[in-house]
Structure 1
């Protein structure tokens, strides 16, 4: 795989800047389900959680990271071979925010000039987005292209209202392997779900989404959801590793050892201008202190973004208003850390999720500039 082709396309599509900088990235992951598929009308996982690949990053070449002071401040037992999220906080996102050890951890990151980076992916959003991507570009309507991302997010919001019925619908039509004759009835069923749950959207949004789905019935094909392997929604996650390596090709990438990902990257060697890419390696977190720090921050981010996908806007607002003490302090520290990292390089943060969930992120963390750039 030529990373320059992938890199150039992403930079142009998203208007990325500072991708040529020299940094050292430590990467860990959370909520990697390996594959997402439908079996007998049900998903292969009991609960959908947001996948996060990320960790800490600093400018320049790799340098020593000293964490003994952090271990002592958090009173990590000497017998513990490494720092893990479980040593810092447990439970759901709101539980995690109550941890004084998390306060110590976040302050240590900021005081040591470390930034964070991460790619987050909502597997349900990723699975559903291809429906809109198969229709909108083919309609040739400039206005609809402006609402492209919103349309995907609105469809996700509607289908979350009837997740079981949606999964059964996908199963019935072998999604994303629709047959040509299944195109119209599949979209008809989607429209029925929309009509039953249109009140979760603004009236204009619901009507626009319905119009797009209706228009899709007249297309000669639905490019991204026809002819693929039936009921296989996500095949693997190595693509996201490749993306981070490619975009920051002048940087050093140190990944926590994940054998499946490691083997997949060996099967499809990365090249740049005809030469092997050698800016990444896999390591044992016990030996790489930066990976231990990344484990904690990625775990927190995974819980945070899963909370946003599973919680309604009004409940998020109520939870934010109820924050006090340590929870409020930790929310502010997270906001400061994400804001500083974003200010240093917008390419550090990448979201493949509903814009409605990004709105909840803004609502909860209350970024100083008033909005978080997705």
Structure 2
């Protein structure tokens, strides 16, 4: 695949800057379930925490930062094979904010001119929003197009709050490969489900979502939810690994070894005006201190984004008000490194999650009122 057309669209659509600069990215992942598909009892996995691909980066191809000094500061035992999140912080997200070692790492990264990057994917949101995209795309109504993010988020909230009923129905209809002869019945069910549960939304937003799904009855086909592998929602996370490879094509990307992803990426070569791009490598984490630090950052962010996904707006406000001075210092360091990273390039961050999660992030981390 030649990267430039897709890359240019992404840069222009999102107003991204500094994507041609040379950086060295380091990566780790958390909550990689490999595949997600529907069973008659729900999903094939018990936990559906957000998939996070994240880590640290610096400008240029090398850094003179002394990792051994940092490891001494956090009292990492010489017998420890490699640094992991469990050596730094334990418990849920709010517990992790109490960690002195985590604060030391964040401050060291800032002082040594490292930045962070992350991809945050709510796998359930990603799996069900094609239903709304199919309807909005076929109707081509400017109002629905303008409000498509709110519509998808509201639909996700309904589905997530009634997951057993919702997932059982999707399984019965063979989603996301709904047979043509079942499409009409699926639309009727979709209308009933939405109208029955939309009371959890504000009256205006409930009406908009109800009106949209009712429009599905006059659509000839639902393109995003037919013609796929029956009941397979996510077949691989490989496409998310490729995004930074083509967006930051002049940079070096160093991943923790992951055999299945390595094979997938190898089978999907990228080119730049016909010339093969060789801008990534997979390494054993114990040979790379930067990948080990990426493990810490990725695991911590995984806890944070799961917290945002599962918490109510009301509880989040109470939690924020109850933070200790130590927790606030760690949260402030996290905000600072995200802010300085964002100042370099917003392209360091890629989020596929509900409006509610993003709203709660803005409140908890950036102080934006709910």
Common fold: TM-score over 0.5:
yes
CA distance in structure 1 between the partners assigned to 2:47 and 2:232 by the alignment: 17
C-alpha deviation, 1:190, in angstroms: 2.7
CA distance in structure 2 between the partners assigned to 1:318 and 1:198 by the alignment: 26
Contact 1:50 1:120 in 2 (8 A): yes
Contact 2:17 2:344 in 1 (8 A): no
Alignment partner, residue 239 of structure 2: 239
CA RMSD of aligned residues (A): 1.6
Please list every run of 5 or more consecutive structure 2 residues that lacks an aligned counterpart in the other structure. Answer: none
Deviations 1:95-129 (A, max 9, x none): 21121211111111111111101111100111011
Deviations 1:154-204 (A, max 9, x none): 111111111111111110100000112322322332333323332332211
Alignment partner, residue 362 of structure 1: 362
Pair 1:12–1:187, CA change in 2 (3 A): farther
Alignment partner, residue 13 of structure 1: 13
| SS of residue in 2 equivalent to 1:224 | helix
Alignment partner, residue 83 of structure 2: 83
Deviations 1:218-264 (A, max 9, x none): 11111110121111000100101111101000111111111110011
Alignment partner, residue 182 of structure 1: 182
C-alpha deviation, 1:64, in angstroms: 4.3
C-alpha deviation, 1:301, in angstroms: 0.6
| SS of residue in 2 equivalent to 1:21 | coil
CA distance in structure 1 between the partners assigned to 2:188 and 2:342 by the alignment: 42
Deviations 1:120-165 (A, max 9, x none): 1100111011111111122121121110111111111111111111
C-alpha deviation, 1:5, in angstroms: 3.3
Alignment partner, residue 63 of structure 1: 63
TM-score (normalised: structure 2): 0.96
Q: Does 1:93 align with 2:93?
A: yes
| SS of residue in 2 equivalent to 1:286 | helix
CA distance in structure 2 between the partners assigned to 1:364 and 1:49 by the alignment: 19
Contact 2:18 2:344 in 1 (8 A): no
CA distance in structure 2 between the partners assigned to 1:320 and 1:188 by the alignment: 42
Alignment partner, residue 163 of structure 1: 163
| SS of residue in 2 equivalent to 1:250 | coil
Pair 1:200–1:339, CA change in 2 (3 A): farther
CA distance in structure 1 between the partners assigned to 2:217 and 2:12 by the alignment: 31
| SS of residue in 2 equivalent to 1:193 | helix
Alignment partner, residue 115 of structure 2: 115
Alignment partner, residue 256 of structure 2: 256
How many correspondences in the alignment? Answer: 370
